[in-house]
Amino acid sequence: MDDQTSPVITNPWAALRQFTDARIALGRAGVSLPTDAHLDFQLAHAKARDAVHLALDAPQLAQSLDAARGDQQAPCLTLHSAAADRPTYLQRPDLGRRLDAASRAALDALEPPAQAPSPRPYDLAFVVVDGLSALAIEQNAVPFLCTLLARIAAENWSVAPVCIVEQGRVAIGDEVAERLGAKAVVVLIGERPGLSAPDSMGLYLTWMPRVGLLDASRNCISNVRPAGLGFDEAAYKLHYLLSQARQRQLSGVELKDETGGDPDRVTANQTNFLLEHAHTPNEAAPLS
């Protein structure tokens, strides 16, 4: 026991908990989890369930994106998948991959940019999708896009109007970008909530998007959020992939992320914390 007043027996790996949100070294009370750990698990599970069912405030998101990108940019478009509501979306993933009729009509009615080559007048389209966590999009989409757009501002990218899609899946970005006429699409989507990350955003890049492409045609950057992969690092990786996709005209399994992390953000001479903190002098040493 820890002392005469606590029934909780600590785990000798408890020092490692400072390095991860994973539920490790929780200790035990008899043969069970300590009460605090059990209640924390229930709270995390409730947050994950809430994130799945939370509705995206699309008008507020569009307003925030328009304000962040400035008056010179075309206003955001708000679209909807063929899944009419959240229960349908959760039960019919196929409907979340296609636009409804009104959204298709809205995209088809857009005027192409003046003197733009056809049929792909834009270099890049951004599609912001609620996915399985609207919370992730509401918290992360605007600051991440601002970071990325600042990074590519000096380059010659023709960017389509940003589209927000409600009740959407990753593949819906292919249809949106194809109708916009974009050579590349980046889908920002709320990822399936985990018990330590209800606010994780994923980024999916596809070159020459069109309806019917498989996941092998996409590159994914996952866990974008302040407590995961930070906005600067995620923008650095995506910028590299975008540049390579445009240069080599491909994406997916044929395009690898070879950044190895932003050189300006990687700490030199990093050590292995597992070796340094696996045990302390008063704790049991690891088995040989």
274 within a domain of the structure (yes/no): no
Tokens of 240: 């590299």
187: domain CATH number is 3.40.50.11240
pLDDT for 72 equals 63
The amino acid that residue 226 corresponds to is P
**Structural domain harbouring 64:** 56-254
Single pTM value for the model:
0.82
Residue 67 belongs to a domain: yes
- Classified as helix, coil or strand, 240 is helix
CB 272 within 8 A of CB 249: no
Instruction: Please report, for residues 126, 163, 188, the alpha-carbon distance to residue 77 in angstroms, rounded to integers and kept in the order given.
Output: 11, 5, 15
Task: Provide the domain count of the chain.
Answer: 1
Given a cut of 60, is residue 285 above it in pLDDT?
A: no
Bridge partners of residue 221, in order along the sequence = 203
Provide the mean pLDDT of the chain. Answer: 86
Query: What's residue 74's pLDDT?
Result: 82
Residue 272 lies in a domain: no
Q: At 2, is the pLDDT very low, low, confident or very high (cuts 50, 70, 90)? A: very low
Instruction: Please indicate, yes or no, if residue 13 is contained in any of the structural domains.
Output: no
Residue with the larger pLDDT of the pair 73 and 130: 130
Q: How far does CA 71 lie from the centroid of its chain?
A: 26
Predicted pLDDT at 25: 83
Query: Is position 95 within any domain?
Result: yes
Averaged pLDDT for residues 245-259: 94
Q: What is the pLDDT of residue 32?
A: 85
On the question of pLDDT at 49 being above 80, the answer is yes
pLDDT at 177 over 90: yes
- For residue 120, being part of any structural domain is answered with yes
- Residue 12 covered by a domain: no
Compare 189 and 6 and report the one with higher pLDDT.
189
- pLDDT tens-digit readout, 95-151: 999 999 999 999 999 988 776 667 889 999 999 999 999 999 999 999 999 999 999
Cα 213 to Cα 205: distance, rounded to the nearest angstrom: 12
Confidence of residue 41 (pLDDT cuts 50, 70, 90): confident
CA atoms within 13 A on the CB side of 105: 3
| Within a domain: 273 | no
